[in-house]
Structure 1
Amino acid sequence: MEPTGAWDRERTEAFLHSETIPLRLSCHTRADALWMLSLWYRYRDGALWCATSAEADVVDYLAGDDRVAFEISTNQPPYKGVRGNGTASIEPDSDKSLLKELLDRYLGGTDSPLADRLLSPDREEVRIRIEPSRVYTWDFSERMASSVPEDPR
């Protein structure tokens, strides 16, 4: 992954490792309509990894067309982030290890009603591996500096 835009590879990877913003994923449905959804992610070995139910519509959509676009960006100013496109592949997460990693990353652990529901033995889980082809970064920190109130913390 060699990004274009505001950041080099090291800064891009630091952002992807540190931010706990859901990834917005765009794909094509079986009817070739566009579909977008948000998923928790983890960046590892040059790929973005997400987990979802094996029954989720996106699993069927990606089986029909593996081309995707994605964005991980801040929701509060100053705006910055990573977007791109690539291909997605699906594989089982039978021991739910990726899901557990994501629960730790986004919720701080697996001790919650949501975690209990997602980790239910009755729920089949899969991993979505997004292999980026093109990555673009942006960071409006400098140009928005005078427009963003200082954090009082």
Structure 2
Amino acid sequence: MTDFRGAWTEDEVEAFLQEATIPIRIATHRPDGSLWVVTLWYRYRNGSLECATGANADIVRFLRHDPEIAFDISTNRIPYRGIRGNGTVDIAPDGKPVLRELVERYLGGADSSLAQWLLADDREEVGIRIEPREIYSWDYADRMRADSDDEST
């Protein structure tokens, strides 16, 4: 069960996650204990965040060693808003179905050379499913709007 806190209701968090086509930043531990951050495309489905990446990617090895993660999905343009949280990861051996949906979500279709490269038959993909434990939302729209109003006077 996810603990939702912050500026938004659970429904507002879910709406943001469904609508936002910005990447997720995942923080994990490397086997030596140091921290690592990776950015991936995601989709929100049934209370989980799902990603796909190459089966041989370093992040896959790190997550298999330690499935505890922290994450951030936030806008890079004013007004800043988003979520951050923590949870655990499960890795599925066949990430192609998730990747196909991510290509559609982020690229708008599979016609581009990037989409074709990502979906090539010789690429082995795994699925990464994040089960959030805590989600904290923030939205600086009101504060930033007030600041920009002050500057215009």
For 2:97 and 2:67, how far apart are their aligned partners in 1? Answer: 23
Aligned residue-pair number: 148
For 2:67 and 2:99, how far apart are their aligned partners in 1? Answer: 21
For 1:146 and 1:24, how far apart are their aligned partners in 2? Answer: 29
Q: Give the equivalent residue in structure 2 for 1:101.
A: 101
Q: Per residue, is there more helix in 1 or in 2?
A: 2
**Cα RMSD (Å):** 1.2
For 1:125 and 1:27, how far apart are their aligned partners in 2? Answer: 19
Q: How does 1:40-59 map onto structure 2 within 5 Å?
A: 40-59=41-60
Structure 2 residue runs without a partner (length 5+): none
Q: Give the equivalent residue in structure 2 for 1:17.
A: 18
Q: Give the equivalent residue in structure 1 for 2:87.
A: 86
**Residues 5 and 137 of structure 1 are in contact (CA less than 8 Å); yes or no, is this contact kept in structure 2?**
yes
Question: One-letter code of the match for 2:30?
Answer: T
Question: One-letter code of the match for 1:73?
Answer: S
User: Which runs of 4 or more aligned residues in structure 1 lie more than 6 Å from their structure 2 counterparts after TM superposition?
Assistant: none
Q: SS at the partner of 2:120?
A: coil
Percent of matched pairs sharing the same residue: 53
In the alignment, structure 1 residue 144 sits paired with structure 2 residue 148: no
Question: One-letter code of the match for 2:54?
Answer: S
- 1:88-107 C-alpha deviation (Å, 9 max, x unpaired): 1100226x111010000000
For 1:12 and 1:72, how far apart are their aligned partners in 2? Answer: 11
Structure 1 residue runs without a partner (length 5+): none
What TM-score do the two structures reach when normalised by structure 2? 0.93
In the alignment, structure 1 residue 63 sits paired with structure 2 residue 53: no
> How far off its partner does 1:146 sit?
3.2
- 1:62-103 C-alpha deviation (Å, 9 max, x unpaired): 000000000000000110001000001100226x11101000
For 2:94 and 2:41, how far apart are their aligned partners in 1? Answer: 15
**Residues 3 and 134 of structure 1 are in contact (CA less than 8 Å); yes or no, is this contact kept in structure 2?**
yes
What TM-score do the two structures reach when normalised by structure 1? 0.93
Q: Give the equivalent residue in structure 1 for 2:8.
A: 7
> How far off its partner does 1:148 sit?
4.7
> How far off its partner does 1:132 sit?
0.5
